[in-house]
Amino acid sequence: MALAKAFKFGGAGVTGRTGTLRSISLVMAFMAAAFVLGVMCVFIGDATAVKPAFFIGLPLALLIGFAFIISPKTLVLAILLTRAGLDPVFSEAKFAAIGGLGGLVNLAIILLAALLIASDPKRVPRAAWMVWLPFMTIQLIGLGYSPDLLPNVRLFLGQSATMAVFLLAFYLVDDWDSMRRMLKLIVISSFPVAVYTLVCIALGKTSGNLDDVSAASSRYAGPFSHPNLLAFYVVLVMGILLYLWRRKGSTAGWLSRAGIMVYMLVLLVMLFATKTRSAWVSAAALFFLYGLFVERRFLVYLALVGFAAMLVPDVRDRVLALNQGNEVVQYARLNSFAWRKVLWADALNWMGAKQYLFGYGAGGFFFNSPHFFSLSGGHRVGAHSVPVQLLFEVGVIGVSTYLLMFWRTMRFALRIHMADRTLAVVASAIVISYLLISFSDNMLAYLVFNWYFWFAVGAVCSVAIRSTVAVSPAATAVTASPPRFTARRTYGQLR
């Protein structure tokens, strides 16, 4: 009975026929869990000889399993709080063919979202589902004619987990206070990432997942697999900190505001250490929009930081490198942007006219890249552009559903302008930055960053969909109490 109550979320008591069915389901679930854990014991026992990180695999699996039964909501929060900092563990505890702990956590998030949302479907309105469903539907169709099915099934499950995180934000956020708590959770999740990265910088330990040229440029990735991932994650956290900085205003003590400022400077150092130029542009756009619409003095800060950054040789060389290697000539090494332009041109020229509507299937770009990319050297490469990748793999329809996701989230972000202008500006800037970066990077592959990005966006969208402001524009000024709002419509009407 106690275990059955653990799965009770506001429903009727476990009695009669329903109670019997639930009891049987629980028994079957525990039998299945026992079987799975038994298999895992054998597998992990052999795997630890190859990868010592699997030593923690079984304890983590048990912990996730028990937390799933005892408190699914707490498990969601715990995963979001620790996923970024534990990324090195997940990266080590996996095998190319079958995945590993990361796949287990992805599956847990999907199941948690299904369980929690099914317990109270009205908490996730129809408008939230329609942000992701068109895109995921096209991705699922693309799997049906994928040239390399298994790895793309794993990528699809990763995208499904990202969608689950977005929907979970609607389950966890139903007012302004809960939204701000979720944003603070993202900031707290960055603390172990910052410590790990600073230690790497102190030890000179750069990312190991780079080509020779990138490795020679001393780019730091912290706990993540690539510097770009760390850079985009840092920009997201900086955006949230800008909002919290403005939110605290005169209501917070000088120590709290000083703490935010110091941590912002730490994140800025980490951002420059990644040497990710697109993230630098993204951060500059974030601060520019914040300064333009919220606090003008940040425009001065932006100019000063930009000038100081160009005095640092590594940063200056990274920026000036774009002036070299722009011509495709024999024995010349292209810069990263020129290399991308050749890749995109080769891909689009190779495509047949019939494929522009539906593409070559999920994973088609990576699979076919040795055939069309003149600089591939026989190796497979990613598209380094989400629109180009989607056009190649799932056609114009896929690109349209991708852009539709951002159009809808932008509308939600702008809806709260009268309630909280700072949040509307920061959220819009983050969404625009993500979309712009996706034109020149493999954003669909950055699972950890996508989780936090879409969870933050989901938290903002949840407030925007559920409420409308009932106060004057003057309420956007910094006050001691949050702005009041009234329900726009009931959950049933939203559905």
pLDDT in tens, 239-277: 999 998 887 654 456 777 888 889 999 999 999 999 898
Round to whole Å and give the CA distance between 265 and 184.
18
pLDDT tens digit string along 142-162? 999 999 888 899 899 999 999
Contact in structure between 466 and 485 (CB atoms under 8 Å): no
Of 21-35, 104-118, 372-386, which range is least confident?
A: 21-35
Label residue 55 by pLDDT band (50, 70, 90): low
Label residue 103 by pLDDT band (50, 70, 90): confident
pLDDT of residue 62: 58
Sequence-distant (≥ 6) Cβ neighbours of residue 46 within 8 angstroms: none
Mean model confidence pLDDT for the chain: 79
Round to whole Å and give the CA distance between 350 and 355.
10
pLDDT of 76 higher than 80: yes
**What string of DSSP letters covers 423-462?**
HHHHHHHHHHHHHHHHTSS-GGG-HHHHHHHHHHHHHHHH
pLDDT of 43 higher than 80: no
Helix (H) or strand (E) holding 62: helix 57-70
Round to whole Å and give the CA distance between 102 and 91.
8
pLDDT tens digit string along 290-342? 999 988 888 998 899 888 888 888 778 787 776 654 555 443 467 788 888 89
pLDDT of 385 higher than 90: yes
Q: What is the mean pLDDT of residues 71-81?
A: 85
pLDDT of residue 71: 74
Sequence-distant (≥ 6) Cβ neighbours of residue 444 within 8 angstroms: 155, 159, 386, 389, 450
pLDDT of residue 484: 39
pLDDT of residue 286: 92
Label residue 231 by pLDDT band (50, 70, 90): very high
Label residue 127 by pLDDT band (50, 70, 90): very high
Sequence-distant (≥ 6) Cβ neighbours of residue 302 within 8 angstroms: 284, 287, 288, 291
- pLDDT above 90 covers what percent of the chain? 42
Round to whole Å and give the CA distance between 53 and 89.
6
| Sequence letter at residue 220 | Y
Of 495, 477, 426, nearest to 183 (Cα)?
A: 426
pLDDT of 434 higher than 60: yes
Helix (H) or strand (E) holding 408: helix 386-415
Question: Which 3 state secondary structure label does DSSP give 477?
Answer: coil
Q: Which residue has the higher pLDDT, 419 or 480?
A: 419
pLDDT of 51 higher than 90: no
pLDDT of residue 491: 33
pLDDT of residue 374: 87
Cα atoms found within 13 Å of the Cα of residue 333, Cβ hemisphere only: 6
Question: Which 3 state secondary structure label does DSSP give 223?
Answer: coil
Residue for token digits 């709002």?
485
pLDDT of 460 higher than 50: yes
